[in-house]
Amino acid sequence: MKILLLGSGGREHALAWKIAQSPRVEKLYIAPGNAGSNAVGENVNIQATDFEAIAAFALQEQVSIVVVGPEDPLVKGIYDYFQNRADLRQIAVVGPSAKGAELEGSKEFAKGFMMRHNIPTARYKSITSNNLEEGYAFLESLEAPYVLKADGLCAGKGVLILPTLAEAKKELKDMLGGMFGSASSTVVIEEFLSGIECSVFVLTDGEHYKVLPVAKDYKRIGEGDTGSTPVEWVA
pLDDT of residue 234 exceeding 60: no
What pLDDT does residue 227 have? 59
Give the total residue count for the chain: 235
Query: For 169-187, how does the pLDDT look when each residue is reduced to its tens digit (9 = 90+)?
Result: 999 999 999 999 999 999 9
Q: State phi, psi for 11 to the nearest 5 degrees.
A: -60, -45
pTM: 0.83
Please report, for residues 78, 96, 165, 170, 183, the alpha-carbon distance to residue 174 in angstroms, rounded to integers and kept in the order given: 32, 32, 14, 6, 13
- Report angle CA 224, 230, 232 to the nearest 5 degrees: 95
Burial class (CB in 10 A: 0-12, 13-18, 19+), 78: buried
Q: What is the dihedral of CA 19, 21, 22, 23, to 10 degrees?
A: 140
pLDDT of residue 123 exceeding 60: yes
Average pLDDT of the chain, as a whole number: 91
What pLDDT does residue 196 have? 81
Strand ranges in 58-108 using DSSP code E only, listed in sequence order:
65-68, 92-94
- Report angle CA 125, 129, 133 to the nearest 5 degrees: 60
- Residues 6 or more apart whose CB falls under 8 angstroms from that of 140 comprise 165
Consecutive H or E run containing 12: helix 10-19
Q: Which fold has domain 2-101?
A: Rossmann fold (3.40.50)
Query: For 138-181, how does the pLDDT look when each residue is reduced to its tens digit (9 = 90+)?
Result: 999 999 999 999 999 887 678 999 999 999 999 999 999 999 99
Q: State phi, psi for 41 to the nearest 5 degrees.
A: -155, -165
Query: How far is Cα 6 from Cα 12, in angstroms, rounded to an integer?
Result: 7
What pLDDT does residue 2 have? 98
Query: How far is Cα 192 from Cα 200, in angstroms, rounded to an integer?
Result: 20
Mean pLDDT of 192-208: 88
- Report angle CA 78, 10, 224 to the nearest 5 degrees: 125
Query: How far is Cα 19 from Cα 30, in angstroms, rounded to an integer?
Result: 11
Domain ranges of the chain: 2-101, 106-235
Q: Which fold has domain 106-235?
A: Dna Ligase; domain 1 (3.30.1490)
What pLDDT does residue 235 have? 40
What pLDDT does residue 26 have? 97
Yes or no: say if 150 and 171 are a contact pair by the CB < 8 Å rule: no
What pLDDT does residue 153 have? 87
- Residues 6 or more apart whose CB falls under 8 angstroms from that of 4 comprise 29, 30, 31, 44, 54, 57, 58, 61, 63, 65, 66, 67
